[in-house]
A = this chain, B = another copy of it.
Amino acid sequence: MSLLGAPPRVVAVGAPMFADALTAQAVAVSQVDWRPPLGGEGTPGEVARVLADPRHQAANATAVGRMLAAGAELVDVRPAREALGLDSGSFLHAGPPIEWERASGPLRGALIGAVLLEGMAATPDEAEKALTAGGLHWEPCHHHGAVGPMAGVVSPSMWMFELRDPVHGGTAWCSLNEGLGKVLRYGAYGPEVVERLRWMSTVLGPLLRTAVGASGAVDVKAIATQMLQMGDEGHNRNRAGTLMFLRELLPSLIDSGAPTSEVAEAVRFIAGNDHFFLNLGMPACKLAGDAARDVPGSSLVVAMARNGTDFGIQVSGTGDAWFTGPANTPEGLYLGSFGPADANPDIGDSAITETCGIGGFAMAAAPAIVRFVGGEVADAIEATQLMYEITLAENPTYQVPVLGFRGTPTGIDAVLVTRTGILPHINTGMAGRVAGTGQVGAGLVNPPESIFPEAVAALAELAPLLG
């Protein structure tokens, strides 16, 4: 039978326009879910060079193996001045490096609040002047072994969780979670924000330090493992994790010898903030990402971070280089009367959770999260399933019950992202675009496409020439 003798059988690839038009004419069509690879003219050659690097496969196996093996224990709680050697006038922030002129509203707002907290200015105006005058400086949390949610601003007097990786020996830090709404990390800096931070430094931090000292190291990875069995994904839903962390420390908190009114206040604060565990899950993931760094030839993404203006990634085989592009604005659900026009572009180091296989990558474990970030339950399950396409491993520890206890998709490969055009799926909070606003919602976001082929190009540069 000749090709044109039979009725046509149609396969459509990529954008659905063609298939839709045929369907409208009652022609049967098989639609193939495909999108073009990322990058430009040079990208296919660069991909080929990276794949041809004889170190590449083993390097990726080594890097993701370290990411999966990393442990995370809370070993201390202490001020950033002491833990990180942060001097007066120095601040840390989320995402890749950025100067004041390009900084987003929430990052500026959080820096203003931190200057007020440190007593270096009496008013927000004075604080802003101090920040633009040149005497103060700020660097990424990631450059100091730390991670910070949203604006991620850390100042010397803030207390930090200190986590240790007992397998590889790394250390990572994160501030204590302030709760939702008008809080520093969302760019708010009003008197109630600064007052809460002072209480956290004078009461909550010291109490937690005493409790951790008495209880001994708290296994944060074990809690993260459990929470995925209890409807949390570890980025935007940390409800069970927070309760389990509280349970772990409770006996030593109660036995701390502190006044019972202070203990009750601290417990009420932690118990009343379903996100408290986020600031423990993030440094746990930071330890896993750091364990996978600096394996020559590896295209594994070891950090994804945003400062509210730029989205940056770091890749195992390219050292401390940042590959950055403009941050997208999340889509999702808004608090109160806020809407899309109020939302700042994507901000925070919290995408370290997705980097290490939880958060948006584990959404199928947390179907109830669609009530917070939008979408349907089926979307949450599909999001996790899609991420297996761009990751190097299934996490033997972090498992998704509803997928038959399949391990979460872990270890983003910049090459796989570039070749498939499938972008990492990130759950996130949304900060108000104007400094001082605070949180306006929560939703979903992707990194900018360009940064993955850029990372591949840099890896290709480092690949040995084959002869």
Residues of A in contact with B (beta carbons under 8 Å apart) = 229-232, 239-240, 243-244, 246-247, 250-251, 254-255, 260-261, 263-264, 267-268, 271, 367-368, 376-378, 381, 401-405
- In the complex, the chain B residue whose C-beta lies closest to that of A243 is B243
A261 and B267 form a contact (CB under 8 A): no
A contact patch SS: helix
Q: Which residue of B lies closest to A232 (CB)?
A: B230
Our pick among B254, B267, B378 for the contact of A264 (Cβ within 8 Å) is B254
B271 lies within 8 A of A263 (CB): no
Q: B residues within 8 A CB of A232?
A: 230
CB-nearest residue of chain B to A370? B401
Contact of A267 among B254, B367, B378, B404 (CB under 8 A): B254
Contact check, B250 vs A367: say whether CB atoms are below 8 A apart.
no
Query: B367, A402: Cβ atoms under 8 Å?
Result: yes
Chain B residue at minimal CB-CB distance from A247:
B271
Residues of the B chain whose Cβ atoms lie less than 8 Å from the Cβ of A243: 240, 243-244, 246-247
Q: Given A231-B229, A231-B401, A239-B230: A255 and B261 within 8 A (CB)?
A: yes
Measured CB to CB, the nearest residue on chain B to A246 is B247
Partner of A230, one of B240, B250, B267: B240
Q: Report the nearest B residue to A229, measured CB to CB.
A: B368
Contact A401 B368 (CB under 8 A): yes
A353: shortest Cβ distance to chain B, in Å? 19
Cα-based distance from A81 to B251 in the complex (angstroms):
32
Give bound CA distance, A2 to B296, whole Å.
75
Complex Cα gap A404–B371 (Å): 11
